[in-house]
A and B are shown apart, each in its own frame.
Chain A
Amino acid sequence: DMKVTQMPRYLIKRMGENVLLECGQDMSHETMYWYRQDPGLGLQLIYISYDVDSNSEGDIPKGYRVSRKKREHFSLILDSAKTNQTSVYFCASRDTSNTEVFFGKGTRLTVV
């Protein structure tokens, strides 16, 4: 069963704390993505990873960094979280020989 798994699903953090969002996929997809979704803005691309240690900024990378040490895992890191980073974060993966993109169920992050 092909899937993208995000952990945790819900997270509350204080401003200034570090945040780690994890994403795993069991399809050996090369390309993975992190998006955030905010009301009225749709999904915005934060980072793309083309494979292990091959990452590229998306449209809104500021305040975020990523880590991809294994093809199956792609982490999003917020160093010193800010209240405007409260959002729903989606991870996705794609096989470059296929057009289909698979999304995780999202992580709802609240920064207070």
Chain B
Amino acid sequence: QQKVQQSPESLTVSEGAMASLNCTFSDGTSDNFRWYRQHSGKGLEVLVSIFSDGEKEEGRFTAHLNRASLHVSLHIREPQPSDSAVYLCAMRTQVVGQLTFGSGTRLQVYA
């Protein structure tokens, strides 16, 4: 079964500092990796969806994918207190459209 490990479990950064979140997966057969943000008590908001090795930028959010090292990361430029949330990485598995999620990183951004 596909596994997705996220680190760190929690992260605190000051407003304006770069925030970096990591995700490793059990094998490289997935064709799509994505990062979601979930504010407390809310649903899932997709931030970045990446298919190929390299970098994908969506506003202040940049994902880096390296299949060889089974790793995908998310970098948040100039984080704001409103970015405080749980961040989930997910990979799309062989089953049609099935997403396998990591357990999440809780990000706290203080002013």
Contacts and interface: CB of A to CB of B under 8 A. Distances in A.
Do these two chains really belong together in a complex?
Answer: yes
B101 interface: yes
Interface in A54-112: 58-59, 90, 92, 94, 96, 99-101, 103-106
A99 B49 contact: yes
Contacts of A48: 95-98
Interface string B73-106: 0000000000000001010100111111111100
A42 B99 CA distance: 11
A47 to B, nearest CB: 11
Interface of B: 1, 4, 6, 32, 42-44, 46, 49, 88, 90, 92, 95-104
Nearest to A29: B97
Given A59-B1, A99-B49, A104-B43, A42 B88 contact: yes
Given A31-B96, A99-B32, A43 B101 contact: yes
B25 to A, nearest CB: 13
A35 B44 CA distance: 12
Contacts of A40: 103
Report, nearest first, the 10 A-B pairs whose CB atoms are least far apart.
A42-B101, A105-B43, A43-B101, A103-B44, A42-B103, A94-B97, A103-B43, A42-B102, A31-B97, A40-B103
A50 B42 contact: no
A44 B104 CA distance: 12
B34 to A, nearest CB: 8
